[in-house]
Amino acid sequence: MAWPQEIRESVRHKYIFNQLTLEQVSADCGVPFDTVRRWKAQALAKGDDWEKLRTAHTIAGGTLEDITRTVLTSLVIKFQSVIERINSNPDLPPEQSVELLTSIADAFSKATAASRRVLPETDRLATALEVVQLLGTFISENYPQHLSAFAEVLEPFGEKIGKSFG
């Protein structure tokens, strides 16, 4: 299937500037993961190194602590977005719902682990956000009827966590 250039540009932009994982970009843009990975490899072969651009953008964006806080906060927001996507699409197969939740949970776990190693002073924030992530997983597994309420309060609560623990 030939994908429109706008979609390719959106995939690249979301990976480099929004700091999404390839899995998240794939889900967000509706492009198969293998296709996204292939586009990234093809771009590298042509000299367009998404990793270098992503790193440069991160470094240029502020202090490492600010960047880490932003990444963790954006992951909480992305987690909310995934939950909303699952809730708003009753025809979404359960396997795909689990795959989406697993992807965002994995990205979140990796980001919090990395922040602990790089910036021990942000460990409190990472722990708080990890608890929120665990709560989201718990609700999705045990009380899925409450996911929309959880998603509704997650973004403003995430801001409060950032202010209290950041």
Is 55 found in the same domain as 97?
Answer: no
Is 89 found in the same domain as 72?
Answer: yes
CB 74 within 8 A of CB 20: no
Domains: count for the chain: 2
Is 100 found in the same domain as 70?
Answer: yes
Of 119, 16, 17, the residue nearest 65 (C-alpha): 119
Is 111 found in the same domain as 70?
Answer: yes
pLDDT, tens digit, 9 for 90 and up, residues 135-146:
888 888 898 888
Is 87 found in the same domain as 48?
Answer: no
Is 52 found in the same domain as 8?
Answer: yes
Is 155 found in the same domain as 141?
Answer: yes
- 154 versus 65: which is more confidently predicted? 154
Lowest-confidence range among 8-12, 23-27, 67-71?
A: 67-71
pLDDT at 8: 93
CA-to-CA separations, 138 to 70, 77, 134, 146, in angstroms, rounded = 24, 17, 6, 11
Return the percentage of the chain with pLDDT > 90, whole number. 20
Q: Which domain holds residue 48?
A: 1-61
Is 68 found in the same domain as 40?
Answer: no
Is 85 found in the same domain as 44?
Answer: no
Is 74 found in the same domain as 144?
Answer: yes
Cα–Cα dist 132/123, whole Å: 14
pLDDT, tens digit, 9 for 90 and up, residues 78-127:
777 778 878 888 888 888 888 887 887 787 778 777 766 666 555 666 67
CB 56 within 8 A of CB 17: no
Is 77 found in the same domain as 57?
Answer: no
